Amino acid sequence: MSAAADFTVLIPARLASTRLPDKPLADIAGLPMVVRVARRAMQSGARRCVVAADDARIVEACETHGVQALLTRTDHASGSDRLAEACTLLALPDDAVVVNVQGDEPLIEPALIDAVAAELQRRGDCAMSTAAHAIGSTADFLNPNVVKVVLDRAGTALYFSRAPIAWWRDGMAALGTDQPMVALPSPAPLRHVGIYAYRAGFLRQFPVLEPAPLETTESLEQLRALWHGHRIAVHVTAHAPGPGVDTVEDLQRVRALLARA
């Protein structure tokens, strides 16, 4: 196995969801969603793929379909906390690379997982890596649910925000008084993609770091790392990822896409 493939995929899975109850077990083309995510991740170059679950029903569903799963505590505040526990349960060394693939991304591209892992392995100066792609519409640029990121020359994150960044000097003029914006700044702004790679030692440290004021303001956990001086490398991909699943409507959309595949 090459050094670039020497990483572990961890998938946090929490049964409780206000918008889509029992989300990890939702059926997608005959498989529980978390199993479908894991099978996509297993097509990457990862050494292994493990689901970190908060409920025995998720573990049972994974094991039924040949997916390794761990039962973690139910009181974790975030997926990062859950993965930190998983790192300990798996006895991963501090320098091991871990890729966090969200359990509601059944269309995740295996190549993107490989690219984010390779980015962290290449960047010894960074504690984390993630991904982004160019924004092509003004609606996405202005949408607070679309997280934006700006980079330095080396491709390291300077800041993440729900606000439209980078904002150009004449942006307000482009908006006009009551007209929609008709142009995007150049170069194209970047949309953050919610996939992360960490070194296991940093991942175990992250949950005990003091939450950052910026993190609270933006509701973006990755700002805690920046606030504490940790660097985040960003892989810019040419393609937007497939849709994730947060709502019943999202679930129906993904089912329809797979039915047409």
In degrees, rounded to 5, the angle at the alpha carbon of residue 252 between the alpha carbons of residues 114 and 21 is 85
What CATH number labels 3-240? 3.90.550.10
Distance CA 194, CA 81 (A): 16
Q: What is the pLDDT of residue 156?
A: 98
| Six-digit token string for 68 | 């390794």
Q: For 174-196, write each residue's pLDDT tens digit.
A: 565 555 556 788 889 999 999 99
How would residue 1 be classed by pLDDT, with cut points 50, 70 and 90? very low
- 110 has a pLDDT exceeding 60: yes
Exposed, middle or buried by CB within 10 Å (0-12, 13-18, 19+), for 254? buried
> CA-to-CA distance for 46 and 226, rounded, in angstroms?
27
Predicted local distance difference test score (pLDDT) of residue 212: 96
Q: What is the dihedral of CA 81, 14, 119, 132, to 10 degrees?
A: -120
Domain boundaries, the chain: 3-240
Give the model's pLDDT for residue 169: 80
How far from 219 is each of 126, 183, 222, 260, CA to CA, in Å? Answer: 22, 28, 9, 35
Q: What is the mean pLDDT of residues 187-208?
A: 95
Q: pLDDT at residue 4 above 70?
A: no
pLDDT at 195: 96
For the chain, give the mean pLDDT. 91
- List the one residue out of 87, 86, 122, 117 whose CA is nearest residue 99: 117
Distance CA 223, CA 165 (A): 15
Average of per-residue pLDDT across 94-108:
95
